[in-house]
Structure 1
Amino acid sequence: MHLIAPDILAEARGLTQAMSGTLYVLGVALWLFGWRWHRFWIVAGVTLGAGLCGLHAGRSAGGAQILAVGVLLSVAAGMMALELARIFAFVAGGCTAWLAALWVFPQAQELWAVFLSGGLFGLILYRVWTMLLTSIGGVLLAGHAGLLLLEPLAKFDAVTWVTVNQAAVNGGVIGLAVLGIVLQALMTRGRGEGIGKAEKPKDKAEPKEKAEPKPEPKAPPAPKPAPTTNWWEKLVHHRKAG
């Protein structure tokens, strides 16, 4: 089983270098930021796939309905993409388990139990499956596009090279896929720690030196008692003096 398919390389030789470079960058981004941007990948992939299916289905109707069917189907699918993500995870997990079983047991048939088991694991381990699928998809896309870019530069036949070195190419794809899962997990973990640590707002600039409290004003001294003006006391003092 060729993970980097020689038939796809042979059919894609007509692509321009700019298109191959764009696909390579897209594959690297999918491999590295699969889980971090998984909502974008899901919405973009579903919208593009639904648009292509709509255009293909509109050909049978003919006329101006081709473009209308494609646009409407792509918009509708894009709006429901996040809700359908779990279904896609189930189908993708089941298909991955089916292909893995066929790789290990090429003569096996009626692998519906394997498909259902893989789909259930895809739902339970949604995050891990998303990382796995985006990592594998990114490696395959970047691998095909990278070989198309290197073929005219290095002057070699990419189809023949992939066919001869099948085991080494498959091993390299699996190793890069595992590395992509590890990198995605580390990036997600670092992002979660950064989000968890809320930055403390900076306090307002405090004055360098606190102003000393002003001394309280002293209370004025109590006034001296006024001399007595009682007439009886004056009379008594006058008699004593006499």
Structure 2
Amino acid sequence: MKYNIDLHVHSVASQHAYSTIEEIARQANKKGIKAFAITDHGPNAPDAPYRYYFSNLRVIPNYIDGVRIYKGIEANIISEKGEIDLGDNDLNKLDIVLAAFHKNTGYNHETYDKNTNAVINGIKSGKIDVLAHMGHPLFQLNYELAVKTAKEYNTAIEINNSSFTGSRKGGEKNCHEIIKLAKKYGCFISLGSDSHISFCVGELFESIKLIEQYDYDQNLIINQSMEFLENFLKNRKKVK
């Protein structure tokens, strides 16, 4: 199956990324990508945009060059309570909320149990639509408990293409464990390139290879179609 929706993309607003949203949309159009989510890093990251950037994403058209633009964030999980680094008023203006552990955001390399609690509590808060790159090797946790809770709360688990192409070295094994558990419990899966330059938008090759290796149910991939994604996000809004 061809997946032409990319739900994890960074713009120049994340200062270690290199393309504007317009440049990304132009490249997406050339590659036949129908939609992408702009998910710049949350404010606690050292080179992230200020919180007003996220509330002001509303000024961006829903379509640029015929490509649907979803306004979102890759928020940082910043406490064992599962808190993230953007307030409810700003979160409610976004189409999609990804959240993940990152270094230098106020929550660094905590214990296995604390990491597990942080993810579980984040899921239960209802604020996180997609758990991004949960297989990060620096933030070990109880994957089975996290996946089981994600299923219960209809939170999607991301298979991040960049986890297989150089970022987060050592996380590949964790990704295999996570996808097996996700299949066991029947979790929603999100595919994201984690693109930091326009030329990489829609590059989901490694993510797709993994879900195909485990014969993952296509009906649980939220990128499968615009209609499915819209329904998923609509249902997520009801619990926030």
TM bracket (short chain): under 0.3
Bigger helix share: 1
Larger RCO: 1 or 2 (CA < 8 Å, sep 6+)? 1
TM-score (norm: length of structure 1) = 0.22
Pair member with larger Rg: 1
